[in-house]
């Protein structure tokens, strides 16, 4: 029961932080950190695919409801959750059946950096492509995607280095 309470606390805490603080930040007019994906990135690998997809969709829908973005976050984070296992298999040599929580400690620094980079790249690209729905101003779109990837990765690494989700 405490595990579910712990996960629910992280879920609500990251959603509130994203909606109230991070969605209002547009660093340089382009970069928006999306720290709420940290919740999906850190779920145990033994979490079933159905549970993972439900957590991701609920988190994205919550961000969409309070951010007035009709389905963009739900679609992007659900796709991230769907691809998470493949990304983990790509960057780590560990057997996924062991059931570990992705972190610097469990994966090593280089594998964790690659995991976060690939996840953030996919998430930000999908989110901004859905948002823009055009390649009209491609340099600006690319700048938004790259700056958001960097700001999201910095936020994820700050939380991870400060202790992150233990247990």
Nearest-angstrom CA–CA distance, 21 and 96: 35
Evaluate if residue 167 carries a pLDDT over 50.
Answer: no
Max avg pLDDT among 3-7, 22-26, 126-130:
126-130
pLDDT digit string (tens) for 112-126? 999 999 999 999 999
Evaluate if residue 46 carries a pLDDT over 90.
Answer: no
In the three-class reduction of DSSP (H, G, I as helix; E, B as strand; rest coil), residue 33 is classed as coil
Evaluate if residue 165 carries a pLDDT over 60.
Answer: no
Q: pTM of the prediction?
A: 0.90
Residue 80 CA to chain centroid, in angstroms? 7
Query: CA-based angle 67:70:71, to the nearest 5?
Result: 105
- Confidence category of residue 30, pLDDT binned at 50, 70, 90: confident
């Amino acid at each position: 029961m405490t595990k579910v309470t712990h996960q629910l606390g992280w879920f609500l805490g990251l959603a509130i932080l994203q909606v109230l603080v991070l969605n209002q930040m547009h660093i340089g007019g382009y970069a928006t950190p999306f720290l709420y994906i940290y919740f999906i990135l850190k779920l145990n690998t033994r979490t079933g695919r159905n549970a993972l997809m439900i957590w991701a969709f609920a988190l994205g829908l919550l961000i969409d409801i309070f951010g007035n973005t009709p389905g963009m976050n739900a679609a992007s984070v659900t796709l991230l959750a769907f691809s998470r296992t493949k990304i983990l298999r790509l960057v780590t040599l560990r057997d996924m059946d062991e059931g570990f929580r992705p972190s610097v400690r469990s994966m090593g620094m280089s594998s964790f950096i690659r995991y976060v980079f690939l996840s953030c790249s996919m998430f930000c690209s999908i989110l901004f492509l859905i948002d823009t729905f055009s390649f009209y101003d491609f340099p600006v779109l690319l700048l938004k995607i790259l700056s958001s990837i960097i700001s999201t990765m910095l936020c994820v690494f700050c939380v991870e280095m400060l202790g992150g989700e233990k247990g």
